Structure 1
Amino acid sequence: MHKLSYEIQPPAATLAPIVESFWRLQTGAVVDKPVLLLPDGRLDVLFSYSRTEPLHVMLMGLGTEAEQVTLAAETVMCAVSLRLPAAEYLLGTRVADILNSARPLPSDFWGITAADLTDFRQFYAKLNATLPTLLSPATDLRKLRLFEQIYATDGASPVHQLAAEAGWSSRQMNRYFQEYFGLSLKSYCAILRFRASFPQLKAGRLFPEQDFTDQAHFIREVRKFAGVRPKDLARNADDRFIQFSAWPQE
């Protein structure tokens, strides 16, 4: 069986600038499940185990292209999906070295155990309580203004406008993005714009509704990040694109 079960919860209000969501995924029994991971502009701390693998924890860096992976049968995975400020203010680390890659973390990271993964409410409540105590008190207001605008517009604002609103030069912003995350600010905004098209594609609307120049630009961007045309992503045969499958219906 290839069946996937998926649950998701938003963070507490105090964590909203740093954490996008908490989620849990479980695969079915008998056979492994091949899937493609799509770029979605998030960092993910993944806690998982299967019937053949003990609990392990990974920090997933940003992705810029679809990645083929196979989920083992009877995999249980809980995760914290993070906004980019989390790298500096929660994790205290740069993630440029794990662009399209991952970094192993200690198996007891954030005090999570295998038992926490069996009960999503327990996992969610535990980290909602723990993560605020780990946040750095020192923050750069320019960065917070920058990220607030990036996420509010799903990456649609041009770099020069973001610079003006954040009070930070375009050159400084791009240096920060390259050094901390491994890609340019413009490239990151393109990923967010691609991700923002998921709801319309899932509803079967194959024409651009975000800030794309025209239909050809939309098709190019979807093919760049998903490896397929918009109609193939919308069809999503056999739940091939896992984040797309988990996206709620409009």
Structure 2
Amino acid sequence: MHFLKQAPAAPLSALVLGYWFIQDLKGAYAGHPIQTSPSPTAVVTLNFGRPCTSDFAAGAPRASLLGIQSRRREWRSGEGCAFVMVMLKPAGLARLFPASGRHTGDDLLELGSVLGDGQTRWLLEDLSAAWEPRQVAARLDAWLLGRLASTKPLPETERLARAWDVLLRTSRVEAAARAVDVSTRQLERGFQEHAGHSPRQLLALERIHTSLLAAQTGQGDPLEGFSDQAHRIRMWRRYLGLTPGRFERTQRSMMADYFNPRREDAAAALAHFL
């Protein structure tokens, strides 16, 4: 199984974490379920080969938009699988796919239902013609920059991006609402519309993300954001389905080691392959 990560063009860095390439043409990972943890990240997946199977009702379309997930998911690789994932920050989901959050939160959509079948086919054909990861990344940059240039930023998506920055710094919804001059109710509606989750829900996902990274890498404080160890254990059970102690005793897959932020590409920091 082969993996590669590419950073986006600099103008996209506030919206896109990076491009992740996964290839399993020989089916080396077939039969090994891959679990992904909750994370405040959305994903556009574009398949060059046979799509992997997943636990979503939409099945495995060639092109999909996966919204921000609040629970652990499972998918399976197999012979002929080859795809690239565009990892989107909450602001990226809101700006590049406005108002999609309410449809994609904890769900997956065929990309054609968002972009239109014609544009989706063109994108897949364009990327397949490039094939080599650096060329694919360059074409993804061009496509996303084109979307930015052709769509006018909405005031509410700009507010969401600013509010999310304040939330990450303060963990206070009221402070985020004041920073963008809206009520907490208005802010919650905006997050539900464009990210599919409330600000508090996204903060919970961020805490889980940070705690899991600390447990994976030994870097950072695994209790950050939690009142005590009991609180951390409750949240891990709720969002990950296991305790920190059980996680320490569980052997991680080759993907967990590869998508580790201690490696050279910091764009992988939001990946949690258990």
Work out whether 1:133 is the aligned partner of 2:146: yes
1:102 Cα shift?
Answer: 0.5
Whether the 8 Å contact between 2:223 and 2:232 is mirrored in structure 1 is no
Aligned-partner Cα distance in 2 for 1:205–1:216 = 21
Whether the 8 Å contact between 1:95 and 1:180 is mirrored in structure 2 is yes
Kindly provide the amino acid, as one letter, of the partner of residue 86 in structure 1.
Answer: G
| TM-score of the superposed pair, with normalisation by structure 2 | 0.77
Whether the 8 Å contact between 2:6 and 2:20 is mirrored in structure 1 is yes
The alignment partner of 2:65 has SS state of: strand
Aligned counterparts, 1:1-250, within 5 A: 4-27=1-24, 29-30=27-28, 31-50=30-49, 56-106=62-112, 109=120, 111-113=123-125, 115=128, 118-135=131-148, 136-140=151-155, 141-150=158-167, 152-153=168-169, 157-204=171-218, 208-239=222-253, 246-249=259-262
1:125 Cα shift?
Answer: 1.0
Residues matched between the structures, number:
243
RMSD over equivalenced CA pairs, Å: 2.9
1:60-98: CA deviations, max 9, x gaps? 012111122222234112011112233342123422223
Aligned-partner Cα distance in 2 for 1:192–1:112 = 32
Change in Cα spacing, 1:216 to 1:168, as seen in structure 2 (3 Å) is: same
Change in Cα spacing, 1:92 to 1:203, as seen in structure 2 (3 Å) is: closer
Aligned-partner Cα distance in 2 for 1:232–1:188 = 24
Aligned-partner Cα distance in 2 for 1:169–1:51 = 46
Whether the 8 Å contact between 2:212 and 2:222 is mirrored in structure 1 is no
Structure 1 window deviating more from structure 2 (223-232 vs 59-68): it is: 223-232
1:171 Cα shift?
Answer: 0.9
1:146 Cα shift?
Answer: 0.9
Q: What are the ranges of 5 or more consecutive residues in structure 2 without an aligned counterpart?
A: 53-59, 264-274
Identity rate, percent: 23
1:214 Cα shift?
Answer: 0.6
| TM-score of the superposed pair, with normalisation by structure 1 | 0.83
1:130-176: CA deviations, max 9, x gaps? 211211333424333213334x54xx611112122222221111111
Change in Cα spacing, 1:6 to 1:173, as seen in structure 2 (3 Å) is: same
Change in Cα spacing, 1:148 to 1:40, as seen in structure 2 (3 Å) is: same
